[in-house]
Amino acid sequence: ELSMRASSMTLDSVSQAFRFGGGWSIIKVLAKDSARAKTFEEAGPELTSAYQEQAAKVREQEWIASLKAKYGVMIDAEALRNAFTRTPAASEEQTFQ
């Protein structure tokens, strides 16, 4: 959203304050670069971060699978359904006459 707002503004312009992400933001356009492919140096940190995130997810799934195999995990669907179904306690029940 911020980049879309900034791209529609002219150079050296300042936006009005607007709500964003639970707070307020103001944008000032100092310079504009034309669209182009990123260089390796520019893309490197972004790629590294994406790779690390993906690798962590793979390792987590492998670890969970190994725990399931080691401990024989079984999912009790009925117990899960009952755990998240709220039934009013006797003290909460009200009768109207």
Q: Decide: 9 and 19 in contact? Cβ < 8 Å.
A: no
- Does 19 reside within a domain? yes
My answer on whether 43 and 13 are in the same domain is no
pLDDT in tens, 52-90: 999 999 999 999 999 999 999 888 999 998 888 877 665
Full-model pTM: 0.44
pLDDT at 51 over 60: yes
Q: Decide: 32 and 46 in contact? Cβ < 8 Å.
A: no
Distance (Å, whole) CA 16 – CA 85: 47
Q: Total structural domains in the chain? A: 2
Residue ranges making up the domain that contains 29: 1-35
Residue 93: which pLDDT band, with cuts at 50, 70 and 90?
low
- The per-residue pLDDT of the chain, averaged, comes to 88
- Does 70 reside within a domain? yes
My answer on whether 26 and 51 are in the same domain is no
- The pLDDT score that the predictor gives to residue 16 is 92
Sequence-separated (6 or more) residues with CB below 8 Å from residue 1 = 20
